[in-house]
């Protein structure tokens, strides 16, 4: 009786190559988890802003005195700016997450193919793109926060 037959391994599919690919992919996966957490915060803020905007639209459609209407109109304009900034932040940050996924896929591809130099350059370019889009997303997120801070007003007449 003979031992178990060895299954031939295709070129580039050695266990060490796969282990190296998994090790290389861990850092981008942690980045992806962080981006996911950021997207969660951004979408929750957007949801609250949209809810407030819809509420104010309903209040304004019912009609009210001139002063509350003016205040609500100002707040609604600020909410519109916040919505645009939040949507741009979410879009750019989501695009950066997509590029991280491509980086991970290419890191595996690089371990399994002879195209090392080409894939390495592509991974580097995608990672730079990832960081660029993440930076843009965070910049729009900061803009949304700044708009929220500027539009936050406590009515001193109610404090008397």
Query: Around Cβ 85, how many Cβ atoms within 10 Å?
Result: 23
Segment 115-134, tens digit of pLDDT: 777 888 898 899 999 999 99
DSSP class per residue in 51-118: HHHHHHHHHHHH---HHHHHHHHHHHHHHHHHHHHHHHHHHHHHHHHHHHHHHHHHHHHHHHSS-HHH
Segment 53-71, tens digit of pLDDT: 999 999 988 887 778 888 8
Rg of the chain taking only CA atoms, in angstroms:
25
Does residue 5 carry a pLDDT above 70? no
**So what's the pLDDT on residue 117?**
77
């Amino acid at each position: 009786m003979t031992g178990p037959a060895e299954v031939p391994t295709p070129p580039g599919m050695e266990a060490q190559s796969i282990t190296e690919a998994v090790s290389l992919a861990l850092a981008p996966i942690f980045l992806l988890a962080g981006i996911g957490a950021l997207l969660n915060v951004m979408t929750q803020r957007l949801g609250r802003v949209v809810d407030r905007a819809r509420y104010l639209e309903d209040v304004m459609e019912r009609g009210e005195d001139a002063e509350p209407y003016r205040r609500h109109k100002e707040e609604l304009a600020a909410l519109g700016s916040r919505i645009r900034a939040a949507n741009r932040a979410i879009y750019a940050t989501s695009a950066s997450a997509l590029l991280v996924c491509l980086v991970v896929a290419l890191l595996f591809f690089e371990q399994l193919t002879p195209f090392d130099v080409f894939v390495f350059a592509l991974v580097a370019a995608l990672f730079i793109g990832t960081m660029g889009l993440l930076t843009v997303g965070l910049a729009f997120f900061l803009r949304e926060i700044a708009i929220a801070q500027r539009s936050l007003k406590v009515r001193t007449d109610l404090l008397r």
